[in-house]
Amino acid sequence: MALRTFRESFKWLIWIVSIAFIAWLVFELGANILNINRAKPWEQGIIAEVGDVKITSDYYEALVQQEIQETLRVRKVESLTPEEEDNIREAVFFRLVDNLRWKKLAEKYGFKLSDKAILTLIALLPPPELLRDSNFIRDGRFDYQKYLQVLNDKRFAPIFAGYEQKLRNEIPADLIRFFISKIPVISKEEMWEKWKFENTKYGFTFANIIYTRVPDEEIKQPTDEELKKFFEKNREKFYKPPYADMYIIRVYKNPSKDDSLQAKDLINRAKKEALRDWKEAVKIYSEDQNTKENEGELGWLALFTLPPDVRKAVEEADTGSILGPFDVPGGYNIVKVLEKKEDSVRLAHIFVSIKTSYKTRQSLRDSLIKFLSVVKKENFLETAKRFGFRVDSTGKFDISLGFIPFIGPDRSLITFIKNAKEGDISGIIFKPKYYAIVQVIKKYKEGVPSFDEIKDEVKKEYIKSKKREFALSLMKKVIKELKSGEDLDTLKNRYSKYGIYIGKADSTNYRAYVPGITNKEVLYRVLMNIKTGNWMGPYDYEDGAYYVIKHYEIPPDRKDFEKRLSNFILQNQQTQAMELLTNLQRELEELMPLKDYRGYIY
């Protein structure tokens, strides 16, 4: 009986396990088909995506190490500081991103290297590391024949794979940038007109009135009805670009207590070695590149400039003593007393920095990943407080400027903000000195806000328009008095309280400074186009208006211009090319947006 009961129970157990297994299998297959369990990009070793192009950590690291080795070779040092390596990593990353974008543009316009072209380039341009390799140097010169032998040997093909990839990425990008930079060519006559505008000399008298300087008491305060009518009539004045308001968390990559203890242990080992062999200890341990090549020597230092603990130890020590370790900004050091005088000392030192370890960074990233896993279901501020993160509020800022409060320029983040909805939270944002996470609190669409939203701004514009009317009416009176021969200084004193400046200039051009001129472009365009001998105006600009009488003009010498023409054309071509390349760069950033995953890896 018991055996039969057991068999019945076991049969049901088998069915339950089988059903559970089938359910699990169906779920797994469905999840794989629907990509539910697909690994995140950073879990696949992808540090970024530029459009549809993925950047792997292996490829990126290879480029970084090449750059670091080249920097060490050029600077003739054995190591770089953590900050220097971070700067190299940042520069390599964004250079790679730019090259991928420009390469895509190059391919669009047919700038694509064939396999034959690549092989020719590799044959003509050996990799930099081989050019410096002593195995390829014979009689002080690069052995090109030996290089060709290696190049044609299939066993060495893997050596050239990375170099080939670098050429394929960088050469087309460089070609298209070079080609585009040569497109803008300004004509000789256009150049002459520009030169003439900037170098023609004039003698003139002018009256300049600045609207905002008209006293407020001269203007009647408007009613709401008047303001509404003004708003409806001048809606285009109140157009607003897109704005956003955000919360920002920044977690700085500061060293942990364990990192400090590790550096302390290293400086203690350095001291033990220094007591045996100072020169060798400097070579092995010191991270001060400015003194490392000179056995750590700091030179003569006044005693009063030393930190109190160092000064006390030095004053009590004998020549040749090795003291410390001492806490110094960024790490620890030990010092050797080389010579002493009554009020100064010659010292050498070994410096060891406190570095933020990979383990510490991983711990920071883990805390941010955990924060992201729970914050989407909770309140951003309360969750940040629970995790011990400080939150800053950007306030309302203009998205179109590309500058984010507390973070600075970051076009990748700007793209996220533009596409985000209110309440959306970013992933981990990588910066050399900190990690960040943002939440979009509110977005403001571009366009004209309602009257009630910007009533105060409408009032300011209304009063400014009335000040303009008052100013131009007053200016007619001033000009009438000037035409009648009234003294300039008398008129200056009489009307200065209304924001009117009256002045005179003799033999001056666009490049010169003239007191009272607030918009040179408008004034000199006027002078270029009016006849001599009569008061002309008003010539309105954004903040005021000019009346001008031109007494004479002296055009520049055409022969002098012809002598300098080639330089002028080159300078203008470079300026226009930079503008064109900058505009294209912005378009490429929009066409191939950057998804940066470095915050999850580094």
Query: Which candidate, 170, 136, 145, places its Cα nearest to that of 66?
Result: 170
pLDDT at 23: 47
pLDDT at 337: 96
Give yes or no for residue 215 having a pLDDT over 70: yes
CATH of 44-182+594-600, one of 1.10.4030, 1.20.120, 3.30.420, 1.10.1740: 1.10.4030
Q: Among residues of the chain, what percentage have pLDDT more than 70?
A: 91
Confidence label for 37 from pLDDT (cuts 50, 70 and 90): low
Give yes or no for residue 29 having a pLDDT over 50: no
pLDDT at 590: 80
pLDDT at 184: 61
Query: Which candidate, 352, 214, 211, places its Cα nearest to that of 292?
Result: 352
- Give per-residue pLDDT as tens, 451-470: 998 999 999 999 999 999 99
Neighbour-count burial for 550-573, b at 16+ CB within 10 Å, e otherwise: beeeeebeeeebeeeeeebbeebb
Token pair belonging to 105: 């543009």
Give yes or no for residue 6 having a pLDDT over 50: no
pLDDT at 18: 47
Half-sphere exposure of 168 (CA within 13 A, CB side): 11
Cα–Cα distance, 466 to 48 (Å, whole number): 55
pLDDT at 11: 47
- Give per-residue pLDDT as tens, 561-600: 888 887 877 777 777 777 777 777 777 888 889 999 999 9
pLDDT at 10: 42
Work out the average pLDDT over 358-386. 94
Cα–Cα distance, 65 to 78 (Å, whole number): 14
CATH architecture of 243-254+358-444: Roll (3.10)
Cα–Cα distance, 351 to 52 (Å, whole number): 46
**320 — alpha (psi -120 to 50), left (phi > 0) or beta?**
left
pLDDT at 111: 67
Cα–Cα distance, 343 to 122 (Å, whole number): 62
Decide whether 44-182+594-600 matches 243-254+358-444 in CATH topology: no
Distances (CA, A) of 299 to 239, 290, 336, 340: 62, 12, 11, 11
Contact by Cβ (8 Å): 97, 592: no
Position 553, amino acid: E
Containing 540, the helix (H) or strand (E) segment is: strand 535-541
Work out the average pLDDT over 261-279. 95
Work out the average pLDDT over 487-496. 86
- Give per-residue pLDDT as tens, 404-447: 999 999 988 998 999 999 999 999 999 999 999 999 999 998 99
CATH architecture of 257-353: Roll (3.10)
Distance from chain centroid for Cα 422? 26
Work out the average pLDDT over 30-42. 62
pLDDT at 574: 75
Confidence label for 21 from pLDDT (cuts 50, 70 and 90): very low
Domain boundaries, given as residue ranges, for the chain: 1-38, 44-182+594-600, 201-239+453-554, 243-254+358-444, 257-353
Give yes or no for residue 24 having a pLDDT over 70: no
Cα–Cα distance, 255 to 406 (Å, whole number): 22
Beta strands in 176-321 (DSSP E): 201-210, 243-252, 297-302
Query: Which candidate, 67, 93, 100, places its Cα nearest to that of 176?
Result: 100
The whole-chain average pLDDT of the chain stands at 86
Work out the average pLDDT over 295-321. 94
Choice between 3 and 366, residue whose per-residue pLDDT is larger: 366
Cα–Cα distance, 288 to 489 (Å, whole number): 65
Work out the average pLDDT over 138-154. 81
Confidence label for 32 from pLDDT (cuts 50, 70 and 90): very low
Work out the average pLDDT over 503-510. 93
pLDDT at 47: 95
Choice between 183 and 579, residue whose per-residue pLDDT is larger: 579
Beta strands in 320-467 (DSSP E): 322-328, 331-340, 344-353, 391-393, 397-398, 403-404, 408-409, 429-430, 434-444
Choice between 28 and 223, residue whose per-residue pLDDT is larger: 223
Query: Which candidate, 282, 601, 291, 568, places its Cα nearest to that of 429?
Result: 601
- Give per-residue pLDDT as tens, 96-143: 998 888 888 777 777 676 777 777 778 777 887 777 777 888 888 888
Treating both helix axes as pointing N-terminal to C-terminal, what angle do 157-181 and 82-108 enclose, rounded to 10 degrees?
A: 70
- Give per-residue pLDDT as tens, 66-94: 899 888 888 877 778 778 888 999 999 99
Contact by Cβ (8 Å): 328, 347: no
